[in-house]
Structure formats: C-alpha cells, structure tokens
Amino acid sequence: MFLVCGEALFDFFVDQPASAGSWPQLRYQAVPGGSPFNVAIGLARLGQRAALFSGVSEDFLGRQLLTVLEQEGVDCSHLQHRQLPTTLALVGLDAAGKPQYSFYGDKAPEASLSLADLPQLDDTVRGIHVGSYALVSHPTGDSLQQLVARESGKRLISLDPNIRLNVEPDLNRWRSVLDFHARHAHLIKVSDEDLQLLYPDLPVEEAARRWLGGQCSLIILTRGGDGVSVFSPRHGEWSLPAQPVDVVDSVGAGDTFQAALLCHLAEQNLASPAALASLDQVQINALLQFAIRAAAITCSRRGPDLPRRSELI
C-alpha cells in the first residue's frame, strides 16, 4: 500500500458564458480534487492499494470527498475529520488548456494535522508520497516533515512539489521545505513550471540537479508537450518525448504521471529505496513510458479523470 499525504478539496471549474447576454451568470462544475487526493485515486484506479492521510471536513462537501474516496477504493482509515470548511479551488483554463487556480479556505482541514495525528505504519505500507501546498501549511507541514524523516530509512519516499503560490506566496518557505523533503525523498517528480517558479534565475536542469544528493535515486522533470528529462546519480541525464495527444486540458496530468510511476514500481516489485537505486536505464525508460502513456490519457479528457489499469494494457 502507498500512503499519500496532503490536501483533499473541491475544484470549481469555471465555464465561460455562452454569450455576452448571459452575463453576469457563470456556470461552474464542481469536481473533487487536490493533487494528493488525485494521486491516491489514481493509484487505486491502477490497481494499487492506496490510503490518504489528510484532514477532511465534516461539512457537506467533506462528506462528498469521503464518499468519492470510498467509491474509488481508497483506504480512508488515516483521514482526520475536522469541523472546518472544505477548501475550494476555482479553476480556469488558459488558451493552451493549462489550469489557473484561486484557493479559498483560510482554516483548511488539510492544514490542521498535528504530530499527534501521524499514523503508525506497518510493513503493508510500501511507500509514502508527499506534495503540494500541505507541505507548507501549519501545523501539517511540520508534521509531514517529521513523518518523512521518521520513515525514509524504512520505505520509499516520493515527492512532487506542485507549488501553489496563491496559497503560500513566500518562495523562501517553499525552497526551505522542499530542500528538507528532497533530502529524505528517494524519487522526485517535478514540473518545469515548478522549478521556474522556485529558481527563476537558473535553467530548470540546473535547478533539478540541486536535489541530486542525500537519498535521492531519481529525479524526473516533466515538460508537458516537450516530454520528460531524467536525472540519475548512476546513469546521468537523458530525455524522452511526450506521447502525441489531442489535449483537452492538462488538469490532473501530473498527478496521473505520479500515480503511474508508483504503480509501475509496485507491479515490478521495485517500490523500495534499494530497488529504485538499482534500476538500469532500460528499467527507468519503461517506468517513464508507462507514466507518459497514462498522463496522455488524462490530457485527452476534461478535468482530473485519471485512467484505469485496463486502459494501459
């Protein structure tokens, strides 16, 4: 099983008015989301056992999130229930289909996790995935640092920064927190957009290399339609192309890629720090090609509609 840590919320997709005469009415489509929420569901859809560690509201929307998780087969035993309103994210798409987010939720359930809430894990948990703005929230961020520091010697730790500056605008806070997690993570997946935000004065390749140290065996830099680049202490650096696809939007594509990485490692019995460090280039390419195919499926449809394992035969 993989324990995925971070936020669960509702994305409200804004539809453009059908005509100028329909203003000021706007239409919205509410979709459960949050990067860690999506990764947990993505793993379950790909046939892997996954649990979500997060704070979830007991309000109407929080109960809806819980229902979705249960229906998708995600283990909810590590969820912490809170009398706090569910966080909302307004999502609009730019001309290229890339999402633009605005977040609403100053007292977010996902930000409320304390050290006392940290789960005790047994050997059924093969790996822990962390990422997104829960990492820089308080007290959840401090608690997650303790969790990965405690567990990084025992099981696979993966990290996807998934930076949201409209939640936490302080780049120095993001850099400090991510440097901490990078020292404990074995697998890091990061987008070129995230690295450009973090280190605007550095080429993204140079920024990615900063995290090649500590326990990290593999850094994967995603570049959207330009494919992915790989950074390995053992094998050096190389790139793979993206899979051609008619893009509807890219919402959830990075989360799909992340879930597919973990799924492939588990299916090949490689979901451990030692096994990840032993991968050869052929195995790494197979891992990336599986994740590229999965992300392309998500890009071909609207919203975070992550693929099922049967779609990747």
State the amino acid at position 268 in one-letter form: Q
Using alpha carbons, list the distances in angstroms from residue 283 to 132, 211, 242: 28, 22, 18
Residue located via tokens 């239409």? 27
pLDDT at 105 over 80: no
φ, ψ for residue 29, nearest 5 deg: -120, 120
State the amino acid at position 252 in one-letter form: G
Longest dimension (CA), the chain: 61
Which stretch, 93-102, 183-192, 242-251, has highest mean pLDDT?
183-192
pTM over 0.85: yes
Burial state string for 281-292 with b = 16 or more CB within 10 A and e = fewer than 16? eebbeebbebbb
pLDDT given for residue 103 in this prediction: 83
Q: pLDDT tens digits, residue range 137-159? A: 999 999 999 999 999 999 999 99
Contacts of 81 (CB under 8 A, 6+ apart): 55, 56, 57, 58, 62
Question: Domains plus CATH for the chain?
Answer: 2-15+28-312 (3.40.1190.20)
Pairwise CA distance, residues 311 & 218, whole Å: 26
Count CB neighbours of 118 within 10 A: 17
Q: pLDDT tens digits, residue range 206-256? A: 999 999 988 999 999 999 999 999 999 999 999 999 999 999 989 899 999
For strand 80-82 and strand 55-57, is the pairing parallel, antiparallel, or unpaired?
parallel
